[in-house]
Structure 1
């Protein structure tokens, strides 16, 4: 068995067995390295060399977590829930609830799309936006798995089809450039305008998966306990409901807007989170001496996503060091024979395994393009079909990997009260509703383009 396949299957199996994802990644990296013939010292060196790329994300996650907890302390969640209750009415009739639910779905898709294109902050909006909405979701008995699917869709689909923001990086700087580099010696040349068109059919698979999740899979009500983010200590009186003055609402808006502006202008989620936290700490809704407690709670809230991203970077470092990725592709090539249809399917499945382990489509495309482009050309696939195969193979797993920010981001926002499991409520739903349709629609794109 190929090292990559063994390591990814082991990581998924351990995660499904409720082993913490960080431990699953470390154990799988060590097991994969040993199976691939690496010495233990080399495994540790490769793992450590990969850790640095996840450190920035971990620090950003900690500061955004502090910002999210500070937002919850302001009482904005109660305010949103109260205003929505007034909108729905005391009887909460089904028609009004339906309008609010669908309005929330549409708003999250629009915001997520904007966070990848117009205001390129990617998942940074989730810990700021989702925690204040949890009380409303609980009141509506909304299944959080469908929110995870909506959020993942909103942050993956833009970079697949829109050459703006993160889409410009993925489609132009990564996908088109790497396909051209891999195909240059063989006479293949693609242009930047081809990539969005080639990815439209695979993107339809994402749309189909979202509709299934929203309309069928998770439409039934699901009960969650209403949990406060800040529990009163022993002997401490529970605080009275907070009423926000106009000035405090203005500070809240300035904190959120300032955090987004700093993120856009500097490219640093760390500085954006710190600015938002600082502005909230001076608005009088929690005491100055409580800052340390709030910041510590925020770091605890987002420690999970930070450590998973760091461990995933180490896992990817070991997998690359084994040299098993070209071996996996070569082994798959021997099984294909002369069938272009089978070749397209096998390439997509290989891309799924590679991306599931690395957890990032942006990091996967440069690895697989050098191998997939010559293979696609040997089977007579057109340049457009080749782009679709490489792009879809890269995107596969990004929406369903335990180590992907496309699943970790939704979990970070939905699990602030401990009622949303990363594997069962984020990873499995997104894998079923997005990866499987992506394989089908990516295969169709390879046949018709």
Structure 2
């Protein structure tokens, strides 16, 4: 039975515990153990698989901690006040345009300057005081950030999108349907349109003002247009250090190396006082360590889920009961949603489902374009809304810098509703007519 599938059990337990406000780290660990045991893997072997699987996100975890230190160094300087002072003059004071601007900037992190989530802990915490003054509901901003992290790679063959589309083309071709990059690009933009509709709906839904406690920086000091704030040597060093961090990342394709080089530059040239290095690292850990450990454990959880064999059974189940085109479409998308929710990555979902979905689509006589769209959206579903995805953990890391943003109810639930539902509808409707 489907409900006895270990992958289904693991994901349902994880999501249920998270929705009950149980600690997310413990929720993922407990869910992994339950999934393993339900697949007749003994508990010791399960925990060993989990620990070994955690290696998959070691780089991401280190990146989070180093970026947290960069953000902490900036927060301890006047650069925060300077940034907010000038940004507040440029960004519209209307909630709708403010949130759209955040989404627009976030899109650059996937293509123009492909740093993924690296910009969030640096850009967003300094803007929280401005958001508080404008009484912006942070759930709308969470949706904007997730849109910027996800929609570009879903819809465009640029930056991370080029990686995603290449994987999609490769896996579809290897499983019996010759596909090139132009075929992917000609179809997957529909997914981006669905997410854009979801973003507009989220901004409209969360337009009601929401009050937050004011940050330690007094708003009247930050938003006074007559305030004379000047950049000192320390602030210039910090700013150059951030630029170095991003530059090294682009050159080396290594976010941890970029973060480390940025910190070294800041210390060497006085952006971070030598006697305050420990304080900077401590504040960075306070900001990002929990998120980093969640990413580590999430990789272990994904490893356990794959080891149970439950994902293969799920896809075979979809093949067996698909029926006609409509039934097959709905089942394929639903299972794609479940798989990605569990493993937390759209990129890793494609190879898992393509081996079964391509033959299924051919047997149901879906067009080439419809097959691409179904597999692409099935893989993309669940990245938004997954408690273990960097598309949700990234926004939370910035928006919760002052402890007033809940990961599950303020990031995961809103992004799940406003992005997965439009993507599901898009997948079903267009797959039937392409």
Query: TM-score, normalised on structure 1?
Result: 0.90
Equivalent in the alignment of 1:432: 417
Q: Is the contact made by 1:160 and 1:196 (CA closer than 8 Å) also made in structure 2?
A: no
1:309 aligns to 2:295 (yes or no): yes
1:175 aligns to 2:161 (yes or no): no
What displacement does 1:245 show? 2.9
What displacement does 1:242 show? 10
What displacement does 1:87 show? 7.2
What displacement does 1:76 show? 2.4
Equivalent in the alignment of 1:200: 189
1:381 aligns to 2:374 (yes or no): no
What displacement does 1:143 show? 0.8
1:164 to 140, 158, 167: 158
What displacement does 1:161 show? 1.6
2:20 to 14, 17, 22: 17
2:208 to 208, 220, 230: 220
Using a 3 Å threshold, how does the CA distance of structure 1 residues 307 and 87 change in structure 2: closer, same or farther?
closer
Deviates more, 1:399-408 or 1:108-117: 108-117
Query: Using the alignment, how far apart are the partners of 1:277 and 1:283 within structure 2?
Result: 10
Q: Is the contact made by 2:237 and 2:271 (CA closer than 8 Å) also made in structure 1?
A: no
Write the mapping of 1:245-260 to structure 2, written as runs, cut at 5 A. 245-260=231-246
Q: Is the contact made by 2:301 and 2:343 (CA closer than 8 Å) also made in structure 1?
A: yes
Q: Is the contact made by 2:237 and 2:270 (CA closer than 8 Å) also made in structure 1?
A: no
Using a 3 Å threshold, how does the CA distance of structure 1 residues 297 and 69 change in structure 2: closer, same or farther?
same
SS of 1:193's partner is helix
Equivalent in the alignment of 2:379: 394
**1:259-306, Cα deviation, whole Å (9 max, x unpaired):** 110111111111222233334445656632011111111012111221
Query: Using the alignment, how far apart are the partners of 1:445 and 1:87 within structure 2?
Result: 39
Query: Using the alignment, how far apart are the partners of 2:210 and 2:328 within structure 1?
Result: 42
SS of 2:93's partner is helix
1:275 to 242, 252, 261: 261
**1:402-431, Cα deviation, whole Å (9 max, x unpaired):** 000000000001111111110011000000
Unaligned runs of 5+ in 1: 89-95, 230-240
Using a 3 Å threshold, how does the CA distance of structure 1 residues 74 and 331 change in structure 2: closer, same or farther?
same
Q: Is the contact made by 2:382 and 2:416 (CA closer than 8 Å) also made in structure 1?
A: yes
Q: Is the contact made by 2:8 and 2:310 (CA closer than 8 Å) also made in structure 1?
A: no
Query: Using the alignment, how far apart are the partners of 1:223 and 1:384 within structure 2?
Result: 46
Query: Using the alignment, how far apart are the partners of 2:297 and 2:67 within structure 1?
Result: 19
Query: Using the alignment, how far apart are the partners of 1:211 and 1:193 within structure 2?
Result: 28
1:51 aligns to 2:45 (yes or no): no
SS of 1:130's partner is helix
Write the mapping of 1:320-359 to structure 2, written as runs, cut at 5 A. 320-337=306-323, 339-359=324-344
Using a 3 Å threshold, how does the CA distance of structure 1 residues 250 and 321 change in structure 2: closer, same or farther?
same
Query: Using the alignment, how far apart are the partners of 1:262 and 1:104 within structure 2?
Result: 30
1:67 aligns to 2:64 (yes or no): no
1:4 aligns to 2:7 (yes or no): yes
Query: Using the alignment, how far apart are the partners of 1:104 and 1:288 within structure 2?
Result: 37
Query: Using the alignment, how far apart are the partners of 1:287 and 1:84 within structure 2?
Result: 26
What displacement does 1:163 show? 1.1
Query: Using the alignment, how far apart are the partners of 2:28 and 2:300 within structure 1?
Result: 8
Equivalent in the alignment of 2:284: 298
Equivalent in the alignment of 1:108: 102
Equivalent in the alignment of 2:250: 264
**1:39-74, Cα deviation, whole Å (9 max, x unpaired):** 223212321221101111111100000001111111
Using a 3 Å threshold, how does the CA distance of structure 1 residues 86 and 125 change in structure 2: closer, same or farther?
closer
Using a 3 Å threshold, how does the CA distance of structure 1 residues 243 and 295 change in structure 2: closer, same or farther?
farther
Using a 3 Å threshold, how does the CA distance of structure 1 residues 115 and 170 change in structure 2: closer, same or farther?
same
What displacement does 1:344 show? 0.5
Query: TM-score, normalised on structure 2?
Result: 0.93
- Equivalent pairs counted in the alignment come to 422
What displacement does 1:205 show? 1.4
Deviates more, 1:220-229 or 1:246-255: 246-255
Query: Using the alignment, how far apart are the partners of 2:393 and 2:127 within structure 1?
Result: 18
Equivalent in the alignment of 2:125: 131
Unaligned runs of 5+ in 2: 218-226
SS of 1:428's partner is helix
Q: Is the contact made by 2:155 and 2:185 (CA closer than 8 Å) also made in structure 1?
A: yes
Using a 3 Å threshold, how does the CA distance of structure 1 residues 409 and 87 change in structure 2: closer, same or farther?
closer
Q: Is the contact made by 2:156 and 2:189 (CA closer than 8 Å) also made in structure 1?
A: no
Query: Using the alignment, how far apart are the partners of 1:48 and 1:286 within structure 2?
Result: 35
Query: Using the alignment, how far apart are the partners of 2:307 and 2:228 within structure 1?
Result: 54
**1:132-159, Cα deviation, whole Å (9 max, x unpaired):** 1111111111111111000000110111
SS of 2:245's partner is helix
Query: Using the alignment, how far apart are the partners of 2:290 and 2:233 within structure 1?
Result: 34
Deviates more, 1:123-132 or 1:324-333: 324-333
